[in-house]
């Protein structure tokens, strides 16, 4: 095994997206991740074939394939004492225990932090909740949509001023949260190298969403009032706005300080007379007359296709971005040139494309070595590695602890 996390062993008792996504990143980085699943269908996200979100049929679960590659699946019925004993044996050799199960469930299974830390003081215990470890709602189940998107203010600030909140996209908050989890686990492992002591690291979907929306929330905290929604036709800076080109495709102008770019921008769009126009020639003028300038730019950008506008904006030093759909990513040459997508051989589907690890290492590269495991695919293999015998496995099966 190679990678920055080679030699690190992880026991994952988690489901859905955020925590499994975090451990997938660690697995990409070389960690050995054993995923504990229940016999009744395993991780619920295995059954995510669209759930009405996508207007097409899927034979594989997108989040399960993405967030469980490079892992081994062990099926254990955690209600059985034999299964709980097996998890404790796995944890005894592990560096990290990762979970997003509810506190009462962890206590019933005998794998709450206090129980494991007492026996394994070097263990890094990573946990995730929806709303935090304290307060009246500490036990409230929280999904990406509810705890991250809705509760944090993200949904409330997006969309047109008089319109409803925008619809969330699946796993959006979960995947940003996964990066926070990996950062915390990495820091705790580093601290353990210096002190020899493990610890619990935790975060919440609500908290990571607040960090994600941090500039808006911080503005509210400083101003003592809410951030209003804005419409694209009445923005304060028309050079920080999106426009539809003549071929129907959108581009986003990203010049938050418009003054350094204004002259070149006017040349790029073929409207040099706007540069010194009394209404638009200063930052204040563009701010006061933003709606009028947006209307002009809408008409201008509708005259040429996006690719042509891109060339002109580049020639004059303007900052802009493509507004793409998820379907555009596969044909984006910049994505492939940087290895942001990768491929792996799936036992049932053949070669499939996957999003690569979000971080690159120069000497310990991340890699996708295997696709997501079948349910319980490695149960016998892993238990035998941890000292169990075939007789033990027969006993476990008779007791209903494993399949």
- pLDDT values of the chain reduced to their tens digit, one per residue, 403 residues: 789 999 999 999 999 999 999 999 999 999 999 999 999 999 999 988 767 788 888 889 999 999 999 999 999 999 999 999 999 999 999 999 999 999 999 999 999 999 999 999 999 999 999 999 999 999 888 899 999 999 999 999 998 888 899 889 999 999 999 999 999 999 999 999 999 999 999 999 999 999 999 999 999 999 999 998 988 888 889 999 999 999 999 999 999 999 999 999 999 999 999 999 999 999 999 999 999 999 999 999 999 999 999 999 999 999 999 999 999 999 999 999 999 999 999 999 999 999 999 999 999 999 999 999 999 999 999 999 999 999 999 999 999 999 8
3-state SS string for 203-235: EEHHHHHHHHCHHHHHHHHHHCCCCCCCCHHHC
Q: Specify the pTM.
A: 0.93
- Three-class DSSP category at 100: coil
Q: Does domain 232-327 have CATH number 3.40.50.150?
A: no
- CA dist., res. 318 & res. 155, Å (int): 31
Residue count (the chain): 403
Q: Does domain 9-213+362-399 have CATH number 3.30.500.10?
A: no
Residue-range domain boundaries for the chain = 9-213+362-399, 232-327
- CA dist., res. 392 & res. 149, Å (int): 46
- CA dist., res. 302 & res. 94, Å (int): 59
Residues 324/329/334/337 CA torsion (nearest 10 deg):
180
The structure tokens 């120069």 sit at 362
- CA dist., res. 401 & res. 13, Å (int): 15
Q: Are 74 and 378 in contact (CB under 8 A)?
A: yes
**Cβ atoms within 10 Å, residue 246:** 13
Residue 214 has, within 13 A of its CA and on its CB side, a CA count of: 4
Q: Are 253 and 242 in contact (CB under 8 A)?
A: yes
């Amino acid at each position: 095994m190679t990678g920055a996390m080679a030699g690190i062993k992880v026991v994952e008792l988690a489901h859905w997206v955020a925590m499994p996504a975090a451990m997938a990143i660690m697995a990409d980085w070389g960690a050995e991740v054993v995923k504990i699943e229940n016999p009744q269908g395993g991780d619920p996200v295995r059954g995510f074939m669209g759930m009405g979100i996508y207007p097409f049929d899927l034979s594989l679960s997108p989040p399960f394939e993405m967030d469980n590659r490079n892992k081994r699946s062990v099926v254990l019925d955690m209600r059985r004492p034999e299964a709980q004993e097996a998890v404790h044996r796995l944890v005894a050799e592990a560096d990290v225990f990762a979970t997003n199960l509810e506190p009462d469930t962890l206590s019933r299974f005998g794998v709450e932090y206090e129980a494991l830390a007492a026996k394994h003081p070097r263990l890094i215990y990573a946990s995730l909740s929806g709303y935090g470890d304290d307060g009246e709602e500490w036990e409230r189940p929280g999904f990406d949509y509810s705890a991250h998107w809705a509760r944090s203010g993200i949904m409330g600030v997006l969309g047109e001023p008089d319109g409803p909140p925008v619809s969330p996209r699946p796993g959006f908050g979960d995947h940003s949260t996964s990066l926070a989890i990996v950062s915390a686990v990495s820091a705790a492992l580093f601290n353990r190298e210096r002190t020899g002591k493990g610890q619990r690291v935790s975060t919440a979907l609500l908290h990571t969403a607040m960090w994600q929306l941090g500039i808006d929330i911080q503005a509210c905290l400083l101003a003592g009032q809410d951030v209003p929604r804005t419409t694209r036709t009445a923005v304060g800076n028309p050079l920080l706005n999106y426009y539809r080109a003549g071929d129907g495709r959108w581009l986003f102008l990203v010049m938050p300080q418009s003054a350094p770019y204004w002259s070149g921008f006017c040349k790029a769009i073929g409207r040099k007379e706007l540069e010194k126009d009394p209404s638009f020639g200063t930052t204040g003028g563009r701010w006061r007359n933003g709606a009028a300038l947006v209307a002009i730019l809408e008409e201008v950008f509708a005259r040429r296709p996006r690719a042509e506008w891109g060339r002109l904006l580049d020639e004059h030093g303007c900052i802009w971005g493509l507004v793409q759909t998820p379907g555009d990513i596969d044909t984006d040459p910049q994505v492939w040139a940087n290895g942001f997508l990768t491929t792996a051989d799936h036992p049932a589907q053949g070669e499939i494309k996957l999003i690569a690890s979000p971080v690159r290492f120069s000497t310990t590269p991340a890699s996708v070595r295997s696709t997501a495991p079948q349910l319980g695919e490695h149960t016998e293999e892993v238990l035998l590695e941890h000292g169990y015998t075939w007789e033990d496995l027969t006993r476990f099966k008779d007791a209903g602890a494993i399949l």
